[in-house]
Amino acid sequence: MKIDHQVTAESLRPKLSRFWQLSGQKIEAISSDYDASQGSPVFTVNGCYSTRGWTEWTQGFQYGSEILQFDATGDKAMLERGRTNTLEKMAPHVTHFGVHDHGFNNVSTYGNLLRLMHEGRIDPNDWERRFYELAIMASGAVQAKRWTSLPSGGYIYSFNGPHSLFADTVRSLRALAYSHQLGHSLMDENDCNISLLQRLVEHAKTTADYSVYYGEGRDAYDEWGRTAHESIFNLNDGNFRCPNSQQGFSPFTTWTRGLAWIMVGFPEQLQFLGTLDDAELEPLGGREAIEAFMLKAATATCDFYIENSAADGIPYWDTGAPKLYQLGPDYLERPADPFNASEPVDSSAAAIGCQGLLRLGAYLARRGDKDAGTRYTQAGLTVMDTLLEEPYLSTEASHQGLILHSVYHRPNGWDNVPSGQTVPCGESSMWGDYHAREAALYVQRMADGPREYRFYL
């Protein structure tokens, strides 16, 4: 991508204003027209949200979007809608033992509401605050229970089973971090008290070791910042067996949304670690070692994104997709073409990765590394600038999505291919829309200063 060094958070204010206006319209359209009996809305088909899921992992994004809309605009009707929907519909997600998505569903709803109360944006109410706290504490413990032990630590396993580590799950560490911050832990057999912080660090280390590549000769396709969507382990002895991919093209190419989850997951955990005393981290390896592996993973993946996205900061769905060659050898030197006939782009990867670039930039700037901090911050602002305009910003009132050209599962063929097109395009996803709102809120707070948008208290 070509980093724009002129764009600033302040210069994006007019586009952000338009974005939030459209965002409110889309939320209203879904609220009034979507048939909730189908299940959670997942992605659009011909502009209307529909459901298609392995698990219920997007409902928190739906109601979390209402809460973010209030956060950004002060629209109290959105707050009340988000509160009511969280109260009435999110409880099953708090105790859902079958998913690795607690950081998605519950931090986006209960977590955002608790954060807003802590910030003074919601009037203080002791019972309401305790309700949100209890939900977050329980969610973190339930997520941490989904555990595979390894000789060197362990990981929160995916819905594929105990052998499976997903790149996505690093973002669900939000639930463990938040729960730990509230003083909670996991009580297991024989009253064994398990630290949520310990499980957070161990999962992050396993992800950094096996999901991220560093160009250190691990295999023939090892490249700085490349990621594997899934890592497979032998449960008999705990040995790593192979990379795999559920939604990417292959185990040896990079599915860009999986890359993006790691890009944002590590920088925000680095920020969270800054709230902890050194004494808490000492038994887990110490602050220096923990921050070092997290920073290495964050930097590598953000570098890979910058090097492997199109000029305007939008990636194609997989960096090794088989028909990319048809776009020509210089396809990354041009703006991404969502209407091309060969391979789809994935705007949801851009919406997620954008925030990772911004958070890494902010983290490095606070550490005194001004040049590197500026590079990643400007890269994030470049991506945000692109998403805030057509052809990615959805301006048609008849389309329920907010950010166009998202892809869900290309190998399974789940994504809609419009008439006259040969690859999926023109559709939105609940995770893409939600994370675009998160990124927009982050940039808006950059412009407003000094309170950074973060997931914890």
**pLDDT band at residue 53 using 50, 70 and 90 as cut-offs:** confident
pLDDT at res. 55: 87
HSE-up of 379 (CA within 13 Å, CB side)? 33
The average pLDDT across 172-177 equals: 98
- Say which residue the tokens 């983290």 belong to: 363
Span 80-94, pLDDT tens digits: 999 999 999 999 999
**pLDDT band at residue 5 using 50, 70 and 90 as cut-offs:** very high
Residue 60 contacts residue 92 (beta carbons within 8 Å): no
pLDDT at res. 52: 85
Q: Which of these, 149, 348, 167, lies nearest to 245 by C-alpha position?
A: 167
Q: Which residue has the higher pLDDT, 71 or 450?
A: 71
Span 379-425, pLDDT tens digits: 999 999 999 999 999 999 999 999 999 999 999 999 999 999 999 99
Rounded CA-CA distance 191/359 in Å is 38
Per DSSP, which regions of 206-344 are E strands?
Answer: 230-233, 240-244
Helical ranges in 147-215 per DSSP H: 173-181, 196-210
Q: Is the Cα dihedral 132, 136, 138, 142 positive or negative?
A: positive
pLDDT at res. 54: 79
Q: What is the mean pLDDT of the chain?
A: 97
Where exactly are the structural domains of the chain? 10-448
3-state secondary structure labels for all residues of 125-165: CHHHHHHHHHHHHHHHHHHHHCEEEECCEEEECCCCCCCEE
Rounded CA-CA distance 224/275 in Å is 29
373 pLDDT more than 90: yes
Residue 387 contacts residue 393 (beta carbons within 8 Å): yes
Evaluate whether the domain defined by 10-448 bears CATH number 1.50.10.10.
Answer: yes
Rounded CA-CA distance 40/301 in Å is 30
pLDDT at res. 232: 98
Q: DSSP letter for 314, please.
A: P
Span 101-138, pLDDT tens digits: 999 999 999 999 999 999 999 999 999 999 999 999 99
**pLDDT band at residue 252 using 50, 70 and 90 as cut-offs:** very high
Question: What are the residues facing 345 on neighbouring strands?
Answer: 316
Tokens of 442: 């982050």
Span 222-238, pLDDT tens digits: 999 999 999 999 999 99
The average pLDDT across 416-438 equals: 98
pLDDT at res. 279: 98
Tokens of 38: 């189908």
